[in-house]
Amino acid sequence: MHEYSIAYDIYQTARKAALEHNASQILRVHIDMGTLVMANLEQVKFLFQILTEEDPLFIGAELSCHSVEPSVHCTCGYEGTELYVCPQCGGMPELIRGREIVVTNIEVEVGET
Ligand SMILES: [Zn+2]
């Protein structure tokens, strides 16, 4: 299931980052999600809750999503939001944003040990 693998990736990425920073608690996980990602955000959040509920690092952790509009880059130098045909040269631009899911930031508490 698409949403499940997305939620799982977010969980693993956040967990790894938290451990690298000696976090005792994850408060919030921020992600950028391209609007071309065909995923149900509510379902991703729901699955994220399920995946993290037995992990003490994630007690009460929230998932905060930021939508990213797609944009492209063309070999002629054009960058913008014309996704399919480059308005400068008529070529086919390459999608550089809009189809990705990136963990951009995690808010944590660091243990006093
Ligand atoms: Zn072009």
pLDDT at 113: 57
Q: What is the CATH number of the domain that holds 26?
A: 3.30.2320.80
- Could you tell me the pTM of the whole model? 0.84
How many domains would you assign to the chain?
Answer: 1
pLDDT of 1: 62
- Ligand 1 centroid to Cα of residue 21, in Å, is 43
Element (H, E) at 75: none
* Cα 71 to ligand 1 centre (Å): 13
* 36 CA to centre of ligand 1 in angstroms: 21
Distance 80 CA to ligand 1 centre (A): 10
Residues within 5 Å of ion ligand 1, judged at the Cβ atom: 74, 76, 78, 86, 88-89, 91
Note the pLDDT tens digit of each residue in 38-97.
899 999 999 999 999 999 999 999 999 999 999 999 999 999 999 999 999 999 999 999
Domain, as residue range, for 15: 2-110
Average pLDDT of the residues in 98-108:
95
Token look-up 């071309």 returns: 36
Q: Check residue 72 and report its DSSP letter.
A: E
User: How high is the pLDDT of residue 65?
Assistant: 93
Q: How many CB atoms lie within 10 A of CB 15?
A: 19
Measured distance CA(25)–CA(111) in Å, rounded: 8
